[in-house]
Chains A and B, each alone.
Chain A
Amino acid sequence: MKNRLKVLRAERDWTQAQLADELQVSRQTVNAIEKGKFDPSLPLAFKAARLFGLSIEAIFQDEAES
Chain B
Amino acid sequence: MDDSKTKTDQWISNTTRNTARLRYWTFCWVATLALATFGPRFIWDFAALPTMLGVLLNLSIGFGMIIANKQYLQGLDEMQRKIFLDACAVTLGAGLVCGLSYELLEDIKLISYQPEISHLIIVMCLVFLTTTIIANRRYR
The answer to whether A38 touches B7 (Cβ under 8 A) is no
The answer to whether B7 touches A25 (Cβ under 8 A) is no
B11 near A: Cβ within 8 Å? yes
A44: which B residues are within 8 A, CB to CB? 78
The digit string for B54-94, where 1 denotes a CB below 8 A from any CB of A, is 00000000000000000000000111101000000000000
The digit string for B98-140, where 1 denotes a CB below 8 A from any CB of A, is 0000000000000000000000000000000000000010111
B8 near A: Cβ within 8 Å? yes
When chains A and B are docked, how far (Å) is the Cα of A25 from the Cα of B7?
11
Which B-chain residue is minimally distant from A25 (CB atoms)?
Answer: B77
The answer to whether B5 touches A37 (Cβ under 8 A) is no
The digit string for B1-31, where 1 denotes a CB below 8 A from any CB of A, is 1001101100100000000000000000000
Number of interface residues of B (CB under 8 A): 15
6 pairs of A and B residues whose beta carbons are closest in the complex: A25-B77, A32-B139, A29-B79, A21-B8, A24-B11, A22-B4
Which A-chain residue is minimally distant from B79 (CB atoms)?
Answer: A29
**One of A21, A24, A32 near B79 (C-beta < 8 A):** A32
Return 20 A-B CB contacts under 8 Å, by A number.
A21-B4, A21-B5, A24-B7, A24-B8, A24-B11, A25-B78, A26-B77, A26-B80, A28-B80, A28-B136, A28-B139, A29-B80, A29-B139, A31-B139, A31-B140, A32-B139, A37-B138, A38-B139, A41-B78, A44-B78
